[in-house]
């Protein structure tokens, strides 16, 4: 379990303030709280791994931060640029998940002949197709969303393969992370399609902020798994 420290407390306070700001439509409170969220949770990562940071991971967090800030400053003017910065980390996430799966394959062969696996694959494909249909005809924006959807599709499949075959905290947070990414991006598209429905935007915002916590938590456990001789020992899922 994580030890609660000032960085983690600051992250949750800033996240709550940001969610509240979106709820009441306060731009000033958004501008105040949003820039605190990612730096505070990254500092929590830095403390947790005792300064032994991964530079590619750090770059992905910086990219998330830039994309988020651009959208907070002016989503209309910086929409495409912000989306590109938010897209970049997904390539790293997919790389890390694929690398993890290859690592676990050395311990135990995977089984894909389960009904739940095929249901999840079909559900992800259904969401992939329908979300792309919902996007308005803007060639560049459509392409970016298509890349988002493709990366999420592969992330979802690989994460679920690990979840049904192996069991440890790293894999658990992999599932949480991908789930938050998927829900956040899905409801972002929904909220753009139906902007008057606040509930859609709130689901997007809440899961988006949770995704950063899950991403950091995933990488903390991933790092510790390699640093301290498998503290969250790999077990076969039943």
Both structure tokens of 187: 């409801």
Q: Cite the beta strand spans of the chain per DSSP E.
A: 166-167, 235-236
Residue 52 lies in a domain: yes
Residue 12 lies in a domain: yes
Query: Sign of torsion, CA 73 78 80 85?
Result: negative
How far does CA 141 lie from the centroid of its chain? Answer: 20
Residues in the chain: 238
Least confident residue range of 29-33, 50-54, 119-123, 182-186: 119-123
Domain containing residue 34: 6-236
Between 145 and 3, where is the model more confident?
Answer: 145
Q: Average pLDDT of the chain?
A: 87
Give, in degrees to the nearest 5, the angle at Cα 63 between 57 and 64.
90
Least confident residue range of 2-11, 41-50, 67-76, 176-185: 2-11
| Residue matched to tokens 């790092």 | 223
Q: How confident is the model at residue 80, as a pLDDT?
A: 92
What is the count of structural domains for the chain? 1
* pLDDT tens by residue, 97-120: 999 999 888 877 777 767 777 788
Its pTM stands at 0.87
User: If you average pLDDT over residues 176-180, what whole number do you get?
Assistant: 95
Cα torsion through 69, 191, 175, 10, rounded to 10: 40
Between 232 and 64, where is the model more confident?
Answer: 64
Residue 1 lies in a domain: no
Residue 68 lies in a domain: yes
Q: How confident is the model at residue 1, as a pLDDT?
A: 54
Q: How confident is the model at residue 126, as a pLDDT?
A: 82
Among 215, 199, 222, 197, which Cα is nearest to 86's?
A: 215
Cα torsion through 204, 207, 212, 213, rounded to 10: 160
Helix (H, G, I), strand (E, B) or coil at 236: strand
Residues facing 167 on adjacent strands:
235
């Amino acid at each position: 379990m994580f030890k609660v420290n000032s960085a983690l407390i600051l992250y949750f306070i800033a996240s709550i303030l940001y969610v509240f700001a979106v709820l009441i439509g306060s731009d000033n409170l958004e501008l105040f709280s949003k820039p605190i969220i990612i730096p505070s949770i990254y500092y929590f990562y830095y403390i947790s791994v005792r300064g032994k940071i991964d530079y590619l991971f750090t770059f992905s967090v910086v990219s998330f931060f830039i994309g988020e800030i651009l959208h907070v400053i002016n989503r209309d003017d910086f929409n495409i640029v912000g989306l590109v910065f938010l897209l970049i980390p997904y390539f790293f996430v997919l790389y890390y998940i694929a690398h993890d799966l290859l690592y676990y394959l050395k311990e135990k062969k995977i089984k894909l002949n389960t009904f739940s696996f095929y249901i999840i694959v079909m559900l992800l494909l259904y969401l992939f197709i329908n979300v792309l249909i919902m996007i308005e005809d803007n060639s560049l924006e459509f392409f970016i969303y298509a890349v988002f959807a493709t990366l999420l599709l592969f992330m979802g499949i690989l994460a679920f393969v690990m979840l049904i075959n192996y069991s440890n905290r790293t894999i658990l947070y992999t599932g949480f992370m991908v789930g938050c990414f998927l829900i956040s991006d899905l409801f972002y598209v929904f909220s753009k399609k139906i902007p008057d429905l606040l509930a859609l935007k709130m689901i997007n915002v809440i899961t988006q902020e949770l995704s950063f916590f899950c991403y950091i938590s995933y990488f903390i456990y991933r790092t510790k798994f390699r640093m301290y001789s498998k503290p969250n020992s790999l077990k076969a899922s039943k």
